[in-house]
Amino acid sequence: MTAPGLTTAMDLKSHIREVPDFPKAGILFYDITTLLRQPSGLKAVIDALTAPYAGDGIDVVVGIESRGFILGAPVAERLGAGFVPMRKPGKLPARSVRAEFSLEYGSDALEVHEDAMHAGQRVLIVDDVLATGGTARAAAQLVRRTGGQLQGLAFLIELQMLNGIAKLEGEQVFSVLQY
């Protein structure tokens, strides 16, 4: 089924499935597959993520594994930019740099090819959800360590109660939907 003309935030939210206790007890998971499977939903999401950056001269969009890949690549194409994947450890084939970050329990890391960005390139980071902000902060560190000029971070969803924005002080942060 395709919803015609998904335009407002309420429209978009009404097509995001909220799954309690996934992947573990106490987490309310925002499942965007129910939005993206609809042509009008996919278009509205990419329109909304792209609009603030039109004319900003973005050279590279960085997508964070894995839902950041789904959103980041079409945003990059729309902006006339290239796309760079930022991945979980051990997935990239060539020499990479790594940033580690702490999660609620334990830690995780992100990697990017060390030659993925050229010095001075204007970079936009894209991901689906800004939660505690640890992932996004590590991504921002990697952009700078590989020479990119970080212009901003764009998310489909910001979970405001988790205050991830505090970990991104000094950055330009945009979110389409806030919960």
DSSP state string for 16-70 = SEEEET-SSTT-EEEETHHHHTSHHHHHHHHHHHHGGGTTS---EEEEETTHHHH
Note whether 154 binds ligand AMP by CB under 6 A. Answer: no
Longest dimension (CA), the chain: 45
Look up 145 and say whether it is catalytic.
no
Count of residues that interact with ligand AMP, criterion CB under 6 A: 17
**Region near ligand AMP per CB under 6 A, out of 1-9, 53-61, 125-133, 169-177:** 125-133
Q: How far is it, in rounded angstroms, from Cα 157 to Cα 131?
A: 9
149: tokens are 């000029």
Nearer residue to ligand AMP within complex by CB, 75 or 136: 136
Q: How far is it, in rounded angstroms, from Cα 35 to Cα 157?
A: 12
Beta carbons of 6 and 32 less than 8 angstroms apart: no
Which candidate in 67, 78, 98, 145 is catalytic?
67
Note whether 113 binds ligand AMP by CB under 6 A. Answer: no
Rounded to a whole number of angstroms, the minimum distance from the CB of residue 3 to ligand AMP is 21
* Contact residue for ligand AMP among 96, 135, 151, 175 (CB under 6 A): 135
Look up 122 and say whether it is catalytic.
no
* Contact residue for ligand AMP among 3, 29, 34, 149 (CB under 6 A): 29
Catalytic positions = 67, 104
Chain residues that interact with ligand AMP, rule: CB under 6 A? 27-30, 64, 67, 127-136, 164
